[in-house]
Amino acid sequence: MIEELVGLPEGVFGLRVGGTLTVEDYEKVIGPMVERAREAHGRLRCLIEIDADFHGLTPAAVLDDVGMGLGTVGAYDGVAVVTDKTGLRTATEWAAFVTPFPMRVFPAGARAEAAQWLADLPADATVQVALDAATGVATAEVDQALRIEDFERLAATVDPWTREHGELRGLVLHIRRVPGWTSLGSVIRHVQFVVGHHGKIRRIALVSDTPVASTVAAAADRVVHPQVRPFAGTDLAAAQAWAAGD
């Protein structure tokens, strides 16, 4: 059984499932529902409410599920799963570590909370990046959990400069709080960015009043090519000047 949910916030689409899902459910209900949501909003914020009588998928439906997931994974802003079924809650929590978008599980009866969480997710990259062409220093303002889109935006700013000039003189990370990552996909992208730019950034300044900033800077300075130095949250100008230095 599949039921499309109504009364959700703008930009959020949802479905309630129970019983056993079949390939017909994907072809006649879920597929068209996803396409309508993509046409209306471009990106997908999906709420899935799973009843206590849900028994899983038929083998053919499993293949459709995998195919649809692979085909639309890059289109999601977030997924919320509402259920009290222990196995599904555990599976969702594990999946949240590998999806390249935020995913969260909510208890049964928390549909409104789940829908609001989806509605409140940022629509675009949350990091703001500015490159000073005169000094060769890029400054990234970070105040929310990092998403894959944030690293794509950072790379889009830094890469053209490094291709033309060979290296970036300095990168200043102005971190207003410990940001964390929204998913393992974001962590992987972070690692990819660091590895891909190893040797192309001369200095990295961490500007933050968070307690771990000095520890992170000291550890990073030992294991990566750029010099890494912490600065107090009010010392942004000093950090930018140091990052621009020879």
Query: Last residue of a domain, which of 86, 120, 154?
Result: 120
Query: Last residue of a domain, which of 79, 94, 120?
Result: 120
- Same-domain check for residues 100 and 180: no
For residue 138, give the nearest of 118, 165, 178, 99 by alpha carbon: 165
**Residue 199, CA atoms < 13 Å, CB-side half-sphere:** 4
Tell me how far apart the alpha carbons of residues 224 and 194 are, in angstroms, rounded to a whole number: 9
Q: Which helix (H) or strand (E) holds 127?
A: none
Q: Is 154 exposed, middle or buried (0-12, 13-18, 19+ CB in 10 A)?
A: buried
**What is the count of structural domains for the chain?**
2
Predicted local distance difference test score (pLDDT) of residue 177: 66
- Same-domain check for residues 183 and 106: no
Q: What is the DSSP letter of 26?
A: I
Contact indicator for 180, 150 with CB cutoff of 8 Å: no
Q: Which residues pair with 49 in a beta bridge?
A: 16, 82
- Same-domain check for residues 240 and 138: yes
Predicted local distance difference test score (pLDDT) of residue 230: 85
Q: Which helix (H) or strand (E) holds 175?
A: strand 168-175
Residue 67 in tokens: 């195919």
We report the CATH number of the domain holding residue 50 as 3.40.50
- Same-domain check for residues 171 and 95: no
Q: Which residues pair with 227 in a beta bridge?
A: 203
- Same-domain check for residues 64 and 150: no
Q: Is 37 left (phi over 0), alpha (psi -120 to 50) or beta?
A: alpha
- Same-domain check for residues 105 and 179: no
Predicted structure pTM score: 0.56
The boundaries of the domain holding residue 12 are 2-120
Per-residue pLDDT of the chain (246 residues; tens, 9 = 90+): 778 888 999 888 888 888 887 777 767 777 777 777 777 766 788 888 888 887 765 444 433 453 444 355 556 778 888 989 888 888 877 777 666 677 888 999 999 999 999 888 876 656 788 999 999 999 988 877 677 778 888 888 899 999 899 889 999 988 876 666 666 666 667 767 777 777 788 888 888 877 666 666 666 555 555 688 888 888 999 999 999 986
Query: Last residue of a domain, which of 82, 104, 120?
Result: 120
